[in-house]
């Protein structure tokens, strides 16, 4: 089995054993080498010492050529069992004496070598000069075998082998036991990864067996599984949404090749996913739009998202109207890697829109015809109202004139009852005259052509207040007029608005000893609004919808005179100026009329009004 195919457990044991073997071999080898080298040097030193002693002992024998003494000197070498041979040479280099004596002369060197030692064929050979007083007398030859050295080597080798076996056995047992601390977490991770891969079950988790780096690795692996599980759930959910959607959801690469095709796309276009995945989206493009898909892809490559209304061709060559939402698909680093298209079939909506357009055209024609009829009817009604009111003026003037003559010229001739009836007739004619005048004004507002010009509203209000001084001269009225803007309007018609509103305020504040009438400007509901406020008798808001109708009155004629036309005129004028009017009130708490005008500027902050007269704040007008 190759090393790459070994299990992690065996790899750890193998590495441990190899490391232990190498370490032991190096240690034992180093020790043996050191010891053997030391032993050999010791052998050399001993042999040198023996040679020196023997040379000194045989000096006289060699000098005098006494073989017996020389042989006795060499015989002492039997105490050194490692020395297997020895010889003495005379000063001329001839063999003189040998040891042991039974060895043939051929076993010894014919002539002595230089002073020193060397190893040869498992023997240590040494030559030592024999001299006295620096005079060379001869030479000593010693031959020491290496059997003790080799015995030591064998003994050490046996010991080393035993140590290796024992140590490796212990190392194997320890490695087999300790490797579990490393291999078990890794095996657990591998088992978990295998289960995840085979079952696609991302809910399993690897057990954490240690708090070290392997524990950190296990935590990271489990966290990764958690994220993958969440992503798988989200992906499955999104995939379910995509597949269940009635819209066509299509994924494309940047060249326009389809990479995903949902069931909605199959329903809309008629192509199956097998037919479209890998094919170009150009297959669906209408012949009259050849460059449209290229432009769509270019926009997506630039990171742009667009919604298009277009036409595509189904498999059966029928066109389909689509609302197409196209957006880029980005990777984790933000790079654009594809295009997403969501297509919705809007064929029915298009048909409905066409039908609505046809109906709108028909309705517009009908409205125009009806508007023309109503305009003609209103014009006829206004003309009739104007004609009737105009024709009633002369008889009413006659009635008023004759009754006044009767009252003035024949005042004493009538009994009291007749004089009272005559007064009633005159008051009725005056009332009728006012009503006729109001009707004429109402008709005039509808018929009059507007002449707009820039008008200062404060000037208009001041003019109306000035004209009302005659009827308010005996009244205690406090006028509060704000700083009003200028506006583009018909000054005559707008003066009629303020005249009617202010005359109403004057009339309905009559029961008040001190009347307060305020004309101001404010912002309401994102609009700039003018208002006229008083502290009069007010009215019930339940009847507010009747305020601006013709002949509609909220108070009895015996209490307050009037025709019920003035506010109708006000509303019509304001509508012609692009505005609207409404009122707020409470019984006996006064009333406020609000109205807007087209082009009315927003209110500006103004300084507090100055006090004048009795100390009542006012910045314009007077009592």
Q: pLDDT tens, 484-518? A: 999 998 888 888 889 889 988 888 898 899 999 99
Give the whole-angstrom CA distance, residue 29 versus residue 161. Answer: 11
Tell me if 142 sits within 8 A of 100, measured CB to CB. Answer: no
How many Cβ atoms sit within 10 Å of the Cβ of residue 388? 13
Q: Where are the alpha helices (DSSP H) in 58-101?
A: 59-64, 67-75
pLDDT band at 314 (very low <50, low <70, confident <90, very high): very high
pLDDT band at 529 (very low <50, low <70, confident <90, very high): very high
Give the whole-angstrom CA distance, residue 259 versus residue 261. Answer: 7
Which domain, by its residues, includes 256?
Answer: 245-345
Taking alpha carbons only, the member of 454, 510, 513 closest to residue 486 is: 454
Specify if 117 maps to a domain.
no
Task: Tell me: do 371 and 404 sit in the same domain.
Answer: yes
Task: Tell me: do 306 and 363 sit in the same domain.
Answer: no
Specify if 434 maps to a domain.
no
CATH code where residue 267 lies: 3.30.450.20
Distances (CA, A) of 119 to 51, 128, 146, 153, 606: 16, 15, 10, 17, 128
Specify if 517 maps to a domain.
yes
How far is Cα of residue 464 from the mean position of the Cα atoms in its chain? 63
Task: Tell me: do 279 and 330 sit in the same domain.
Answer: yes
Please give the order of strands across the beta sheet that includes 258-261.
258-261, 248-252, 336-345, 319-330, 306-313
Task: Tell me: do 464 and 567 sit in the same domain.
Answer: yes
Q: Specify the number of domains making up the chain.
A: 3
Which pLDDT score, from 0 to 100, does residue 592 have?
93
- Of 165-174, 375-384, 567-576, the least confident: 375-384
Task: Tell me: do 327 and 400 sit in the same domain.
Answer: no
Specify if 61 maps to a domain.
no
Which pLDDT score, from 0 to 100, does residue 207 have?
84
Q: Supply the pTM of this predicted model.
A: 0.37
Specify if 134 maps to a domain.
no
- Of 320-329, 448-457, 528-537, the least confident: 448-457
Which is more confidently placed, 595 or 14?
595
Last residue of a domain, one of 323, 345, 367: 345
CATH code where residue 457 lies: 3.30.565.10
Specify if 318 maps to a domain.
yes
Q: Which two tokens stand for residue 572?
A: 């019509």
For the cut 60, the answer to whether the pLDDT of residue 534 exceeds it is yes
Q: Which two tokens stand for residue 623?
A: 């009592």
pLDDT band at 438 (very low <50, low <70, confident <90, very high): low
Q: State the DSSP code for 102.
A: T
Task: Tell me: do 336 and 359 sit in the same domain.
Answer: no
Q: pLDDT tens, 111-155? A: 888 888 888 888 888 998 888 888 888 888 898 888 878 888 888
Task: Tell me: do 375 and 336 sit in the same domain.
Answer: no
For the cut 80, the answer to whether the pLDDT of residue 480 exceeds it is yes
Give the whole-angstrom CA distance, residue 203 versus residue 229. Answer: 7
Last residue of a domain, one of 304, 330, 345: 345
Last residue of a domain, one of 310, 345, 380: 345
Task: Tell me: do 281 and 423 sit in the same domain.
Answer: no
Q: pLDDT tens, 229-284? A: 787 777 777 777 777 788 888 999 988 899 999 888 899 999 998 999 999 998 89
Task: Tell me: do 588 and 612 sit in the same domain.
Answer: yes
Q: Where are the alpha helices (DSSP H) in 468-522?
A: 469-472, 491-508
Task: Tell me: do 486 and 469 sit in the same domain.
Answer: yes
Specify if 493 maps to a domain.
yes
Q: 489-525 burial, b if ≥16 CB within 10 A, otherwise e? A: bbbebbbbbbbbbbbbbbbbbeebeebbbbbbbeeee
Specify if 91 maps to a domain.
no
Q: Where are the alpha helices (DSSP H) in 210-328?
A: 213-244, 263-269, 273-276, 292-301
Task: Tell me: do 323 and 420 sit in the same domain.
Answer: no
How many Cβ atoms sit within 10 Å of the Cβ of residue 576? 16
Task: Tell me: do 285 and 337 sit in the same domain.
Answer: yes
| HSE-up (13 A, CA, CB side) for residue 195 | 13
Which is more confidently placed, 608 or 95?
95
């Amino acid at each position: 089995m190759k090393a790459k195919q070994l299990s992690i457990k065996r790899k750890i044991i193998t590495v441990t054993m190899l490391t232990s073997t190498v370490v032991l071999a190096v240690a034992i080898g180093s020790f043996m080498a050191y010891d053997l080298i030391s032993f050999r040097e010791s052998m050399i030193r001993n042999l040198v010492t023996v040679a020196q002693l023997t040379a000194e002992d045989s000096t006289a024998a060699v000098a005098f050529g006494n073989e017996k003494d020389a042989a006795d000197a060499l015989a002492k070498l039997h105490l050194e069992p490692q020395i297997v041979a020895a010889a003495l040479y005379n000063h001329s280099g001839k063999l003189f004496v040998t040891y042991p004596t039974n060895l043939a002369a051929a076993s010894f060197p014919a002539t002595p070598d230089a002073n020193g030692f060397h190893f040869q064929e498992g023997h240590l050979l040494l030559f030592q000069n024999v001299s006295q007083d620096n005079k060379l007398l001869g030479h000593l030859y010693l031959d020491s075998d290496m059997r003790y050295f080799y015995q030591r080597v064998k003994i050490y080798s046996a010991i080393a082998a035993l140590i290796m076996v024992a140590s490796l056995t212990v190392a194997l047992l320890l490695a087999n036991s300790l490797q579990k601390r490393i291999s078990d977490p890794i095996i657990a991770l591998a088992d978990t990864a295998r289960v995840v891969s085979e079952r696609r079950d991302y809910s399993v988790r690897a057990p954490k067996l240690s708090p070290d780096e392997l524990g950190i690795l296990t935590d990271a692996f489990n966290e990764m599984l958690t994220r993958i599980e969440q992503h798988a759930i989200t992906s499955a959910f999104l995939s379910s949404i995509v597949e269940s959607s009635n819209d066509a959801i299509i994924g494309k690469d940047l060249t326009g090749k389809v990479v995903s095709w949902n069931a909605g796309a199959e329903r809309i276009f008629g192509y199956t996913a097998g037919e479209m995945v890998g094919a170009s989206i150009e297959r669906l493009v209408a012949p009259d739009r050849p460059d449209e898909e290229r432009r769509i892809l270019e926009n997506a490559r630039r990171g742009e998202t667009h919604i298009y209304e277009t036409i595509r061709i189904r498999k059966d060559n029928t066109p389909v109207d689509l609302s197409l939402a196209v957006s880029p698909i980005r990777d984790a680093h933000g790079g654009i890697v594809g295009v997403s298209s969501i297509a919705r079939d809007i064929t029915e909506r298009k048909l409905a829109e066409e039908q609505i357009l046809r109906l709108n055209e028909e309705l517009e024609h009908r409205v125009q015809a009806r508007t023309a009829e109503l305009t003609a009817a209103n014009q006829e009604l206004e003309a009739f109202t104007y004609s009737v009111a105009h024709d009633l003026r002369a008889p009413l003037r006659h009635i008023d004139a004759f009754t006044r003559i009767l009252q003035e010229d024949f005042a004493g001739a009538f009994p009291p009852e007749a004089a009272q009836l005559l007064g009633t007739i005159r008051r009725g004619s005056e009332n009728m005259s006012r009503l006729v005048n109001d009707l004429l004004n109402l008709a005039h507002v509808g018929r009059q052509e507007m002449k707009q010009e820039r008008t200062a509203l404060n000037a208009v209000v001041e003019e109306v207040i000035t004209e009302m001084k005659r009827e308010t001269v005996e009244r205690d009225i406090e006028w509060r007029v704000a700083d009003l803007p200028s506006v583009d309007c018909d000054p005559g018609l707008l003066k009629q608005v303020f005249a009617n509103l202010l005359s109403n305020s004057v009339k309905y504040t009559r029961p008040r000893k001190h009347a307060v009438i305020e004309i101001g400007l404010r912002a309401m509901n994102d609009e700039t609004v003018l208002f006229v406020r008083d502290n009069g008798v007010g009215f019930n808001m339940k009847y507010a919808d009747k305020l601006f109708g013709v002949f509609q009155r909220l108070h009895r004629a015996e209490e307050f005179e009037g025709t019920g036309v003035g506010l109708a005129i006000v509303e019509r004028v304001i509508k012609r100026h692009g505005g609207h009017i409404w009122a707020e009130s409470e019984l006996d708490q006064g009333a406020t009329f609000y109205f807007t005008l087209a082009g009315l500027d927003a209110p500006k902050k103004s300084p507090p009004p100055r006090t004048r007269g009795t100390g009542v704040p006012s910045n314009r007008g007077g009592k």
